[in-house]
Structure 1
Amino acid sequence: MTWNIPNILNATLENDVVKLRRIGIDDKEGFAQIAYDPDSWTYMVSVVHDEPSLVTFLERAIADSLAGTRVVFAIIDKASGRFAGTTAFGNLAPADRRLEIGWSWLGAPYRGTAVNRATKGLLLEYAFSELGCERVEFKTDVLNSRARAGLKSIGATEEGVMRSFNFMPSGRRRDAIYYSILKAEWPDVRATRFR
């Protein structure tokens, strides 16, 4: 099985809460309004703290998308029309019908709102229905209690910890915790968690 990366890149996913679309360098001004909050980057492998680091973040997201290693989406809050954050499909393994949803961050005004659940629901539906995935995985910093609670709330199953997984910008070695949702689980998860 192969995936048509250009089709995924050009997909616009939408529900009543959010619109997900391809990220672009023209999004810099919109993201600048929410991106410089240090709390957004505590558990991320990238850090955005000023305009040059935001440009670097966007350029890398665009390059990864064009190379087919990640498909990065801008998250637009439909109520306000403003940028809420970014998310991505990554670790793409079409032969195994598997991918990861991650590299996600939300600006402070959007944390604890319906934006994250609405975003994950769109991505999961696309992964299972359009791409034919058998498995969608997520990973986060074992210390990121907010993300861990969010993953449990959408019905993801905790699988285990990969110890000393990678370096963080601070120099700390991160333990990464994995979660997943399987294709066979998706109908029940969708019905009970994404109504």
Structure 2
Amino acid sequence: MNQESFFDQHIILEDALVRLEPLEERHYDALLPVALHKDLWLYTGAKVNSEADFKRYFDNALLEKKNKKAYPFAYYHKQQNKIVGCTRFGNIDLANKRLEIGWTWLDPSLHGTGFNKHCKFLLISYGFEQLQLNRVELKTSHLNLRSQKAMRKIGAVEEGTLRRHSINEDGLVRDTVYFSFIAEEWPAIKARIFDDLINS
């Protein structure tokens, strides 16, 4: 699949608990109250402190898809019957068989429940098993220890820290910790880490 045709797809990824669906304007009202949990943005590059901030963030996500720079998803919780967060495929480079999973935020009430594990499994599986990627990467702030712990927990390999890598919207200069999965390691990680999801 080439870069152009990838963005023409209507990608839906789902299991018994979660459905990831392409982000659309209709998701805005459901996502707004989730996005206004300010602690979600403590370590992120973007800062959302108001509805206006979120409108700008949301519109930019849709614009990045239109411009074929990223593919954003809304998280739908099947048991709760509601939209509960967002994520994206970004830094998509299909010629070099790699992309990033990131820009992820989720209703704080679902942190630590395993919901995000379901989502990451669907995204990573799609990357390796449908897109035939060589590499799926994730990154986070050096200050975000909870996110780093979560990445290790799902089998991501820590590759290192890019020092003074970017500047957050609030002006803070950030070091960024990179993690990755690679195709050769995915089958073993899938069997070891995600066995409960495969056989549920």
Name the TM-score, length of structure 1 as normaliser.
0.95
8 A Cα contact 1:23 1:73, kept in partner: yes
1:41 aligns with 41
> Which residue of structure 1 aligns with residue 7 of structure 2?
6
1:105 alignment counterpart: 105
Matched, 1:146 2:146: yes
Query: Residue type matched to 1:74 in 2?
Result: A
Residue 87 in 1 paired to residue 90 in 2? no
Query: Aligned residue pairs: how many?
Result: 194
1:169 Cα offset (Å):
2.2
What's the CA shift for 1:124?
Answer: 0.3
CA RMSD of aligned residues (A): 1.2
Residue 29 of structure 1 is matched in structure 2 by: 29
1:192 and 1:126 map into 2 onto residues whose CA distance is 18
In structure 2, the residue matched to 1:117 is: 117
Tell me the alpha carbon deviations over residues 17-55 of structure 1, each in whole angstroms, 9 at most, x when there is no partner: 211011112211111221101110011111222222222
Q: State the AA in 1 paired with 2:40.
A: S
> Equivalent residue for 1:68?
68
1:165 is aligned to 2:154 = no
Using the TM superposition, give the Cα deviation of residue 112 of structure 1 relative to its aligned residue in structure 2, in angstroms. 1.1
Match of 2:51 in 1: 51
Q: Which runs of 5+ in 2 are unaligned?
A: 196-200
Q: Which amino acid aligns with 2:141?
A: D
Separation (CA, whole Å) in 2 of partners of 1:47 and 1:17: 29
Percent of counterpart pairs with the same letter?
32
Shift of 1:128: 0.4
Q: How far apart in 2 are the matches of 1:165 and 1:174?
A: 6
Whole-Å Cα distance in 2 between the matches of residues 67 and 7 of structure 1? 12
Contact 2:87 2:105 in 1 (8 A): yes
State how far apart, in whole Å, the 2-side matches of 1:71 and 1:182 are. 20
Please give the per-residue CA displacement for 1:76-132, whole angstroms capped at 9, x wherever unaligned: 111102222111111111111011111111121111111111110000010001111
CA distance in 2, matches of 1:24, 1:99: 21
